[in-house]
Structure 1
Amino acid sequence: MPFVSLKVAGPEIGTGIVAELQREITALMGEVLGKRADLTAVLVEPAPTGGWSVGGEAVVRAAHIEARVTQGTNTAAEKARFVAAAHDLLVRTLPGPLPLATYVVVQEVPADAWGYGGLTQAERARDAAARR
């Protein structure tokens, strides 16, 4: 049940690029981190031109991905592959150069601290274990 937030600064990228980023990020979450596509939520949020700086200097285009996953469900190697693949996706998809400080974060959230459909991930794991 991952949630991915992508912030993009600079000129508007349009609905076609937004949809492509949503599809590709969802695919990466499944292929690299083993997450279910039908439970992967992706939010693309614009930031105003001039509203983002790196090293104290405003940049024309910038992006930041933060993917939340359940703690302990991915290896360090999987997370490293996701960071590399997500960065590559941003570079390939967004117009204009991105600053070196284009961050991709995999944030691990404890299973008892988040969920969906009214149940935490810990409750879902307990229910699944009880059915076995």
Structure 2
Amino acid sequence: MPHIRVTVTDSELPADVRSALARGVTRLAVSVLHKSRARTVVHIDPVPAGHYFVDGEPLTGDRDAHVEVSLTLGTNSAAEKAAFIAAARELLSDLLGPLARSGVALHELHPESYGYQGVTQFEHYRRPTGAPAAPVAR
């Protein structure tokens, strides 16, 4: 159940590029990290370059991007994570052009501290396939 946030220093990022980024990182989450397409959420965050700082100074003249992925701890190998980072960098370059500083961060969250629709990942993985979610005690 990854949540993927792509920040791009271009507040006027065209809709077709935003869509291509969303489709591309979803494809990578599914093909490289073996995540569910239906449970993959992508948030594209175009920001003005002046809101993005390098060495304490606002970025000027360049486009940059950063990808952050929240995923469940222990569900991917080091090789899968490295492959995702490399493929995401290539996707960013293909869609946005040369990026000198782009980054990719995978945030692994403990399954008891990460959930979807009111159910922790711990409970999700414990349930038999196809079983409904247990009601959340209040």
Identical-residue share of aligned pairs (%): 39
Gaps of 5+ in 2: 132-138
Q: 1:7·1:63 contact (CA, 8 Å) conserved in 2?
A: yes
Match for residue 38 of structure 1? Answer: 38
Higher helix share: 1
1:47 counterpart = 2:43: no
Match for residue 94 of structure 2? Answer: 92
For residues 26-50 of structure 1, the C-alpha deviation after alignment (integer angstroms, 9 at most, x for no partner) is: 0000000000111100000111122
SS, match of residue 33 in structure 1: coil
> How many residues end up aligned between the 2 structures?
128
Separation in structure 2 between the aligned mates of residue 49 and residue 107 of structure 1, nearest angstrom = 24
For residues 59-83 of structure 1, the C-alpha deviation after alignment (integer angstroms, 9 at most, x for no partner) is: 4211000011100000000000000
Amino acid in structure 2 at the alignment position of 1:23 = R
SS, match of residue 108 in structure 1: strand
Q: Which of 69, 73, 76 is the equivalent residue of 1:74?
A: 76
Separation in structure 1 between the aligned mates of residue 104 and residue 115 of structure 2, nearest angstrom = 22
TM-score, structure 2 normalization? 0.86
How far residue 11 of structure 1 moved from its aligned partner, in angstroms, is 5.0
Match for residue 13 of structure 1? Answer: 13
Where does structure 1 differ by over 4 angstroms across 4 or more consecutive aligned residues? Answer: none
TM-score, structure 1 normalization? 0.89
